[in-house]
Amino acid sequence: MRVSIFDYGAGNMHSLAKALGAPGSELVIEPDPVRAIDTDLLILPGVGAFGAAADRLGAGRNTMREAIRRGLPTIGICLGMQLLFEASEEGAGEGLGVIAGRVERLCAAQVPHIGWNSVEPSDRTSLSVATPATVYYANSFVCRPTDESVVAAWTTHESDRFPAVVRAGTAVGVQFHPEKSSTPGVRFLRELIAASPAWRRTT
């Protein structure tokens, strides 16, 4: 199984690559958005700023968007999840627009939201993979989908409730960092990767 990480200059690439190193998979780090979609599974990593990441999509934005819409299994992590949406208050530029909605600043006194917090599964959509009960977050912005039926799990920071996990077709986004969430987080990520080939058959 070929797994491609789209490298748009985000940090934390080493720990993510280590977490993704599941047996039987070939891992590729690709800075070109068009070449990145020549894969069995596309990973949009976390850490970084929305505007800079959107800029790196460049002319390849539409090509990547259409590949995901046609059924390319995709996992977006933190910033990568936010790139699945249309736009962000954090910076200029277009996201992929695979999921309708915007990314907005967290409504809380303490921003950024850093540390361990819950994952509360929703009954509106299924991942077929169980999420850990507690995971590690590091975010100042959160996703606000137009249609909440895409939300597979929620979390709450202070009084702001926002999606922890979303799924639209073959694209899954997680606001937390599974690669920083100890053994349960890495297990979840690897189980998600193992389940991804079946997404094409069920969507």
Q: How far apart are CA 132 and CA 134, in angstroms?
A: 6
Give the CA count within 13 Å in the CB-facing half-sphere of 111.
11
Among candidate residues 14, 26, 78, 191, the one labeled active-site is 78
Which residue type sits at 62? N
Please indicate whether residue 113 is annotated as part of the active site. no
Q: Which of 90, 157, 179, 191 is catalytic?
A: 179
Residue 26 buriedness (CB in 10 A; 0-12 / 13-18 / 19+):
exposed
Amino acid 171 reads A
Output the six-digit token pair for 83: 């790139």
Per the annotation, the verdict on 177 as an active-site residue is: yes
Is residue 107 part of the annotated active site? The answer reads no
Tell me which of 113, 143, 157, 177 is the catalytic residue.
177
- List, by residue number, the catalytic residues: 78, 177, 179
